[in-house]
Structure 1
Amino acid sequence: MVSPAATPSPLTVSRGVRLGYAVGSFCTANFSAIPGLLLLIYMTDVLAVPPLLAGVIVFLPKAWDLVINTLVGQWSDRTVSRWGPRRPWMLAGSIILPLSFGLMFIGPPLTGTSAAIFVGVTFLVAATGYALYEVPYKAMPAEMTTDYHERTSLLQWRMVFVAIAIAMSGILAPALAGKSIEGYRLMGLIFAVVLLVSMFGSFFGTARAPFTGPQEAEGTLRGQLAAARTSKPFLWLLALCSAQTLAAGVMLAGAPYFAAYTLGDTGATSTLFAALVGPMLVTMPLWVWLARRLDKRGAMILSGTLFTVGALLAVATPWLGSLYAHLCVVVVGVGYAGLQLLGFSMLADVIAYDGAVSGKRRGGVFTGLWTAVESAVQAFGVTIYGAVLTVGGFLSSDPANPVTQPDSAYTAVIVGLTIVPALIALAGVLMTLKYDLTAERMAGATAPATT
């Protein structure tokens, strides 16, 4: 097998490779955030799709992720190429995703059910392209270094790019889209180009990435899935991070509604996102320090608690106003920054630990399952918020035919953004107590003897 070029030390990763890897987050963060933020309201308020149907359409393509992500993980584990096992699949995704993403918003002038079907089909193709890129992309940090804390430092760079990308998704994308079909088409075209450039940038930027993972791949998909099912650290990490991702997905879907119907200012979507991502740009060194000081599990508990508290405090927004709401989102953002950094760092630990004790390369299936569940629960957050709106009697519309919402719809908007995600995030905090892959346990991991 031909592996990527190695570096002199298995502990450190060069600045160039860090930047090359991190730029791929412009893809992963934008594709995760924009459909979660805008796809539901695009369908309900521009294409006149009923909210429950729109929520289902956003969620259904994610069921496909459970199949394609696992397969991509196995394929990348078993790939032998001069580009290494991961990068050929990243290249394939770089071709498919930008085109299908653009088509989601640059489609024919349809409304109602026909519009929902078109969006659903193009979203399904986009999800396939995303799987081809994201699954091997997430497996790479575990194979770049053997050092427990170096993985957190490496991913710190990625989180800075994630923050910038989320700012683009939350500030630039809504500003471009507005509430018109023309605006959404322009937004779709511009961000399709952003995805294309960032994905190719990461493909070429990781050409010299070190490879410290096992050389031998697990032979069968069944064996890989069995390894994931029997890995207690992986299962607990998947559960706790899924809860936090679900909470974030519900809040993301609710942000434009919260801005329009609670704050009375559609432009507040951008400032709310600035309040969310601002802490991600400045608190990453703090979370790296806390991960060393408290270990990653302790830092994860702290970050989840901050997320929960910030969401609950936002319930008082109708009485305390817009400035108060933005301050609550800052608290959420500080917690969210920690959740993002620590979740990916702990996933890299799980993959590295499995490789050390088994001697087999099967991180692709771990990241395949992770990405499938992550995408599904994030999309399910949109479905949950759509269901909350439906229970509250929210009325769908289009720009030419505005409607007056009942009082119950206004209540649903704020409950869906605050209480619902806070309870989900709290469940994630409680599950973190069961995660036990510490630095000491990682240091004691050894591969089984071979004959």
Structure 2
Amino acid sequence: MIATQQSLSRSTVARYAVGSLGTGGFATLPGLVLVYYLTESLGVAAFVAGAVVTVAKVWDVIIDPVIGARSDRMLAVRGSRRAMMLVGAVALPVFFLLTFAVPPGTPTWASALWVFLAFLITATAFSLFQVPYIALPAELAVGYDERTRLLTWRVVVLTFAILLFGAGGPALRQLGGGSGFVAYFVMALVAGLVIGAGMFVSAYVAPRQQPAAVLPPRESVLATLRTNYSAGIGALRDSQPFRALLLTFLLQGLATGMMLTGANYIATWVLHSEDAVTLLFLALIGPALVVTPVWGIVARRIGKERGFRIASVLFGIGALSMLLLLWLPGAWVYASVALAGAAYAGMQSLPMSMLPDVISHDARRNGPGKAGTFGGMWTAGETTGMALGAAAFTTVIGIAGYVSGAADPSAATAGITQPTSAVAGIVLAFSIIPAAIVAASLVPLVRYRLRKGDVDDVV
């Protein structure tokens, strides 16, 4: 389905954007507290805790293309993707709460298994919403500029959600006592309801149309899996713009994943301040909130692809400048992080508004009905990049001699020290390595050749 609405209403833009309250919250809060909950509240070994979270991310990568293809079939059969999104919106708060509701006194192995299963189902519920949600812009908005407008406001809400849950999640935990069953139960209950509410409201923006005259044939489970993965590979094979854009976004997810993972280490072992984590977070997200609409203006003036390149270069400069922390740690770093945050807003909003352009371009060349497949591949690529970013950071500091188990900020005041090489590794993994990865991402971006005229010709 390709959009026929020439001008987006404010209601459509707002209802689509509010979905990012859910996607941003789920992307942020588990990453902040889940491993800590496993190790500190449930007594699970750090290696096992890391495996629980990593396997859930790998599961996302496996199922996202399948969900995308099933979303396309649902659109053909029922005329809308809404039902799948609603299932995800209703199920996620329930299993998110269960993830953080392990009864006191449960054996360690059973606690780890409980969290693993609950979080796996939570991640699946999230994908049921997220994958069709990403496919919707091609069905909601016609034209290059209208999609930029739609996705710009989505990223504004996404950035706000990251700030809200990044600061609000730990605050909710403190309201419940700071640790233990009640603290995490209160946090998960409130946060889960807010995440689910944003997703539920946004699901109703999914348009309805007449079901397809000729429905796709029903298949066995194995045949369905084979067909769905073949569809994802086919999307990569048939759409050169999609290959270029997805590889760029995956590499940039790797770079930003490294920096987000490293923020706490920089605060503890380089800036020697427990408050620095919050300040780094505010310095990154605050400018992004303000600057996101500006990137929409830039896209309309010079094109999304050129704006995306500019944002990427600015982010690389901000990251590279933090190499100076090796010799001159200090509060100046917040200015560099603010530059990276302003650029990060463009690195999110512009490629997200380019994706529906790619989908409509492919529909003209190869036929409609694959938006969910593109969305599934996109979500899998994004998840892969962020997961690899965390793995890459820990690999670098491990090689540099980091003393494991000393990442808690309180460790810096408990007599634990890091070797000089480990501190250098933290800085390198936070600065020059992400900057080099972003520079490498410009290579596939140069090969992205869709322009405004190409996209509006589809209309």
Secondary structure at 1:323 match in 2: coil
Distance of 2:31 and 2:368 partners within structure 1: 36
Matching residue of 1:102: 97
- Report the CA distance shift for 1:389/1:44 in structure 2 as closer, same or farther (over 3 A): farther
Question: Contact 1:40 / 1:382 at 8 angstroms: preserved in 2?
Answer: no
Matching residue of 1:228: 236
Per-residue deviation, 1:117: 4.7
Question: Contact 1:74 / 1:364 at 8 angstroms: preserved in 2?
Answer: yes
Provide the identity percentage.
36
Comparing 190-199 with 59-68, which one deviates more in the overlay?
59-68
Residue identity in the other structure for 1:90: M
Where do 1:75-114 residues align within 5 Å?
A: 75-80=70-75, 84-108=79-103
Distance of 1:52 and 1:150 partners within structure 2: 46
- Report the CA distance shift for 1:372/1:92 in structure 2 as closer, same or farther (over 3 A): same
Of 256, 273, 276, the residue aligned with 2:281 is: 273
Residue identity in the other structure for 1:26: L
Of 389, 393, 396, the residue aligned with 1:385 is: 393
Distance of 2:294 and 2:194 partners within structure 1: 29
Per-residue deviation, 1:263: 2.2
Q: What is the CA deviation profile of residues 289-345 of structure 1, one whole-angstrom value per residue up to 9, with x for unaligned ones?
A: 221232111111111111111112122236544421211110110110001101110
Distance of 1:445 and 1:81 partners within structure 2: 21
Question: Contact 1:213 / 1:361 at 8 angstroms: preserved in 2?
Answer: no
Distance of 1:120 and 1:67 partners within structure 2: 16
- Report the CA distance shift for 1:240/1:216 in structure 2 as closer, same or farther (over 3 A): farther
Matching residue of 2:440: 427
Comparing 90-99 with 107-116, which one deviates more in the overlay?
107-116
* TM-score, normalised by the number of residues in structure 2: 0.85
Comparing 218-227 with 25-34, which one deviates more in the overlay?
218-227
Residue identity in the other structure for 2:56: P
- Report the CA distance shift for 1:210/1:340 in structure 2 as closer, same or farther (over 3 A): farther
- Report the CA distance shift for 1:52/1:15 in structure 2 as closer, same or farther (over 3 A): same
- Report the CA distance shift for 1:10/1:240 in structure 2 as closer, same or farther (over 3 A): same
Q: What is the CA deviation profile of residues 246-296 of structure 1, one whole-angstrom value per residue up to 9, with x for unaligned ones?
A: 111121222222223322233322222221112222212321122123211
Structure 2 gap segments, 5+ residues each: 218-226
Of 125, 139, 145, the residue aligned with 1:143 is: 139
Residue identity in the other structure for 2:23: T
Question: Contact 1:304 / 1:425 at 8 angstroms: preserved in 2?
Answer: yes
Secondary structure at 2:331 match in 1: helix
Pair 1:187-2:195 in alignment:
no
Residue identity in the other structure for 2:193: V
- Report the CA distance shift for 1:339/1:406 in structure 2 as closer, same or farther (over 3 A): same
Residue identity in the other structure for 2:194: V
Matching residue of 1:396: 405
Note the aligned Cα RMSD (angstroms).
3.2
Structure 1 gap segments, 5+ residues each: 447-451
Pair 1:201-2:201 in alignment:
yes
Comparing 392-401 with 356-365, which one deviates more in the overlay?
392-401
- Report the CA distance shift for 1:174/1:325 in structure 2 as closer, same or farther (over 3 A): farther
Question: Contact 2:153 / 2:293 at 8 angstroms: preserved in 1?
Answer: no
Matching residue of 1:288: 296
Pair 1:125-2:137 in alignment:
no
Matching residue of 2:306: 298
Question: Contact 2:78 / 2:211 at 8 angstroms: preserved in 1?
Answer: no
Of 410, 414, 419, the residue aligned with 2:427 is: 414
Where do 1:31-50 residues align within 5 Å?
A: 31-43=26-38
Distance of 1:214 and 1:270 partners within structure 2: 51
Distance of 1:30 and 1:130 partners within structure 2: 11
Of 320, 334, 347, the residue aligned with 2:342 is: 334
Q: What is the CA deviation profile of residues 138-195 of structure 1, one whole-angstrom value per residue up to 9, with x for unaligned ones?
A: 1001111221111001111111101110111332224445774465444333211211
Distance of 1:351 and 1:420 partners within structure 2: 32
Of 414, 421, 438, the residue aligned with 2:451 is: 438
Where do 1:224-263 residues align within 5 Å?
A: 225-263=233-271
- Report the CA distance shift for 1:342/1:319 in structure 2 as closer, same or farther (over 3 A): same
Distance of 1:284 and 1:377 partners within structure 2: 22
